[in-house]
Amino acid sequence: MTGQGRRVLVTGSTAGLGRGAARSLVDNGHEVVLHARSAERAADVEVLASRALGVVVGDLADASEVRSIADQANAYGDFDAVIHNAGIYVDRERMATGDGHARVLAVNVLAPYVLTALIDRPKRLIYLSSAMHREGDPSLHDIDWLSRPWNGVQAYCDSKLFVTALAMAISRRWNGVCSNAVDPGWVPTRMGGARAPDDLVQGHVTQVWLAVSDDRRAQDTGKYWYHRQAQAPARVTNDPAFHEALTGELSRLTGVALP
């Protein structure tokens, strides 16, 4: 069963899984705030935006714009759920943001961390992970790839390990907030490619379910989900010591403390 009239922010909602999740939520009577990287990308979803509560605009690779996104979101009032959907895949070389961070780290980890810290606390948080998180490096050595040779696949795996652990850390840290990670599968989005074998619709069903459903299981916290089934994530993602080390490093890199 799906609760009605929930207010949900979906990052990266101009294409792919985010757009599918946002459309599903709007179709089911929820108040949705879309997110677009730029005004031009916002124009791509003009029809959907006309049915949504609003649109926040900002590039997740730019630290100042991430802070602006948080301010724009807070202007809408409290959210029932935030779906941290936006992400990028493998950069063949280290692409540095204007702030000097590796782009994959900035978009996949630093941005959801900062938005989590700065957006007024919602009832539910959903973070997009990947089965590839299990290949991530938990050492936290040079997570910004400033000194070690660049490996795009490893950087992506690391980013998904970190964001999965962030979801679990929030579930321990914030009482009353349901925080979960979701593996959407390998789906045929712009990131996943046309030959991806999993179902695109199923890719966003779990995010929507966790965001608005009144089902008891959807109100669990600290879980890793694939197609509405809880699975075991990498063991380190549930390690409180790793949570503290990771959030400390993210705080250092961003200058934003997690409440």
Whole-number Å distance between alpha carbons of 114 and 111: 5
Residues in a beta bridge with 82: 9, 125
Catalytic residue ranges: 156, 160
Do the bridges between strand 229-231 and strand 7-10 make them parallel or antiparallel, or are there none, so unpaired? Answer: unpaired
CB 84 within 8 A of CB 109: no
Phi-psi region of 140 (alpha: psi -120 to 50; beta: other; left: phi over 0): left
How is 201-241 classified by DSSP, letter by letter?
A: HHHHHHHHHHHHB--TGGG--S-EEETTEEE---GGGG-HH
